[in-house]
C-alpha cells in the first residue's frame, strides 16, 4: 500500500525514512484540503465584495477598495494552493502557455 501511495503522489523512488516521515506528516488529507479551499475562497470573495462596497466611502474609498480587493484576489488565488499544492500550482502558473497571463495578473495586483 505504501508503494502505491508513493507512485500516485509522484515519489516513485525510495526516500530516506526520516524525510518520508516528514513529508507524510505534513501532507494534508483530501477533506482538509477541500475545507481549506472553501474557507480561503470564501474569505477572498468576502474581501473582494467588501472592497467593492467600500469604494463609495468618501475620501478613503479608493484606498480601502484597493487594499481589500487586492487581499481578496490574493486569498482567492491562495485557495487553489490547498487543492493542487504550492509547487504544482507555481509550475502550472509559469508554464509557457500561461506565462503572459500570470505576469499580467501579478503586475496588476
Measure the N-to-C terminal CA separation of the chain; round to a whole number of Å: 44
Residue ranges covered by each domain of the chain: 1-84
In sequence order, what are the residues at sequence separation of 6 or more whose Cβ sits closer than 8 angstroms to the Cβ of residue 27? none
Contact between residue 28 and residue 36 where contact means Cβ atoms under 8 Å apart: yes
86 or 3, which is more confident?
86
> Residue 47's closest CA among 58, 39, 36, 35?
39
The pTM for the full model equals 0.68
Q: According to the model, what pLDDT value does residue 46 have?
A: 96
The residue ranking higher by pLDDT, 29 or 13, is: 29
Confidence band for 104, pLDDT divided at 50, 70 and 90: very high
pLDDT tens-place string over residues 48-76: 999 999 988 888 889 999 999 999 999 99
User: Helix 30-54 and helix 61-84: axis angle, to 10°?
Assistant: 170
Amino acid at each position: 500500500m505504501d508503494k502505491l501511495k508513493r507512485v500516485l503522489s509522484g515519489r516513485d523512488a525510495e526516500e530516506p525514512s526520516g524525510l518520508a516521515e516528514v513529508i507524510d506528516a505534513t501532507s494534508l488529507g483530501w477533506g482538509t484540503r477541500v475545507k481549506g479551499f472553501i474557507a480561503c475562497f470564501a474569505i477572498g470573495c468576502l474581501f473582494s465584495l467588501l472592497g467593492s462596497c467600500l469604494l463609495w466611502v468618501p475620501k478613503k474609498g479608493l484606498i480601502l477598495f484597493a487594499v481589500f480587493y487586492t487581499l481578496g484576489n490574493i486569498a482567492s488565488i491562495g485557495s487553489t494552493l490547498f487543492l493542487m499544492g504550492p509547487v504544482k500550482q507555481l509550475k502550472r502558473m509559469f508554464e509557457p502557455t500561461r506565462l503572459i497571463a500570470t505576469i499580467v495578473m501579478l503586475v496588476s495586483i
